[in-house]
Every structure is written in C-alpha cells, then in structure tokens.
Amino acid sequence: MAKLTYHGHSTFSAVTDDGTGIVIDPWFEENPHTELGVGDFAEVDYIFCTHGHSDHFADALPLARKSGATLVSTFEIAMFAGEEGIENVHPMHIGGGFDFPFGRVKMTPALHGGQVHGDESGRWTTVPAGFVFHLDGTSLYHAGDTALLSDMRFLEGMVDIALLPIGDNFTMGPDDAVRALELINPRVVVPIHYDTFDLIAQDTDEFRRKVGNRARVHVMKPGETLELD
C-alpha cells in the first residue's frame, strides 16, 4: 500500500507500491515544521501543486530541476514552469482527470488566490485547485488552500482520506472543515495548513471534539508516515 509522509503545513510526500515518488505542494526551505530541503528528495517522479502561493510552490521548480520529476498543476502554472526551464510538465485543470502510471488523479475546485510565486513578469495567474489521488486502492483528497465549497458534496463516496485545511484566516477554519466533512463523508480526516504562523494557530484536540463521529481524525506530526489503506 502507498505510504504518505507529512512535512508540515500542506506539504506531503508519498511512495506507491510500485515505487513511484510523489511530492504535493513542496515547501521545505522556509517551512518551520521541517528540517528537510530539496536535496533530501532525490527519488521524485511527480510533483503536484494545488496553486502558486509560495508556501505551496516555492520549492516546486528547484525540486523539479534537481529530480527531473514531472510537475503537475493547472495549465497556467505548468506553462510558467516550462518558461522557467522545467522540461517535464503535465498541465491539468478543474474537473479534469488523468490516468498516470501510478493511478488516476482528478483536479477539483478550490476557492483561494491565484498568484504564482516567482513570476516577476506579472503575466501569470491561475485558479487554485485540489486533487483526488487514487493510490493503490485508496482515494486521497488534498483540498489545497480553500474556503468551504458547496461543490464538495460531489466528492461524497469518492474519498477515503481527506487532507483539509483548518487554520482559518486564509482558508477554512475548524468549523467549516467540519461542514466540509459532512459533505465529503471520508473515513479519515487529516488536518493541514495550521500552526505554521500565529495567525493560523489551532487546537487539534478541539477540532477532534467538533468532528465527533463524522470521521476518524488523524493528526499527523511533521515527519510522520501514514499507510494508506
């Protein structure tokens, strides 16, 4: 089964049964929750970016250059990466899915900002997104940075494990994350995008209490690995 490792904030890496290495929203060098850097991720085949803000995208291009991994994101971010010399890109967009060698991935809506970190020309912007990954028989939803969306109800029955932001201020807070769970109905929820800055500090015990029996809350510590089953 696939193994998912949390690196704090919204950054994850995963390894599938066939050895495919995946990184989601790479932010290492300035991430206070990890001591790892781009140089610690040599075996990466795919990099998925939900949007272009620095705390989700700052290390995407350096990691792609070092590893030769394919960068997967919205069309605009993929084209920007190509302009920056990234040879392997795979553009997607909201509502679209693709059957990668390791499994199917669908891009889902998110409601947030569209700045692309590193675009000094100011020409590039995009819409934010989430991803539903099908990894070794488990469906994993990374919501990215998003507000509560009524469209999340369309994910009901499609998600085993949901990675949901709870930090508030910039994204959903705990109460809206609970409402999202009622729409999605996953087995497990992993809170993300919290405690990185004072503005998004949250009490995960209180979040667990609010979730109740809607899903099993699995609070991952930075560096912790979860087997996806």
**What is the CA angle 201-26-205, rounded to 5?**
25
Q: What is the pLDDT of residues 111-130, one digit of tens each?
A: 999 887 876 676 767 899 99
Name, in order, each residue with C-beta under 8 angstroms of 211's C-beta and a sequence gap of 6 or more. 178, 181, 189, 217
Q: How high is the pLDDT of residue 114? A: 87
Task: Tell which wins on pLDDT, 42 or 176.
Answer: 176
For 3-219, CATH number out of 2.70.98.30, 1.10.1040.10, 3.40.309.10, 3.60.15.10 equals: 3.60.15.10
- Per-residue buried b or exposed e for 38-74, using 16+ beta carbons within 10 Å of the residue's own CB: beebeebbbbbbbbbbebbbbbbbebbbebebbbbbb
> Which uninterrupted H or E stretch holds 205?
helix 204-211
Does 13 have pLDDT greater than 90? Answer: yes
Q: State whether residue 22 is helix, strand or coil.
A: strand
Does 162 have pLDDT greater than 80? Answer: yes
Q: Which letter does DSSP use for residue 154 in this model?
A: G
Q: How high is the pLDDT of residue 229? A: 84
Could you tell me the pLDDT band of residue 77, with boundaries at 50, 70 and 90?
Answer: very high
Q: What is the mean pLDDT of the chain?
A: 95
Least confident of 31-40, 128-137, 200-209: 31-40
Q: What is the pLDDT of residues 166-218, one digit of tens each?
A: 999 999 999 999 999 999 999 999 999 999 999 999 999 999 999 999 999 99
Give the mean pLDDT of 8-22: 97
> Would you kindly state where each structural domain of the chain is located, as residue ranges?
3-219
Name, in order, each residue with C-beta under 8 angstroms of 151's C-beta and a sequence gap of 6 or more. 108, 109
Distance (Å, rounded) from C-alpha 47 to C-alpha 180?
Answer: 26
Distance (Å, rounded) from C-alpha 30 to C-alpha 41?
Answer: 16
Give the mean pLDDT of 41-55: 94
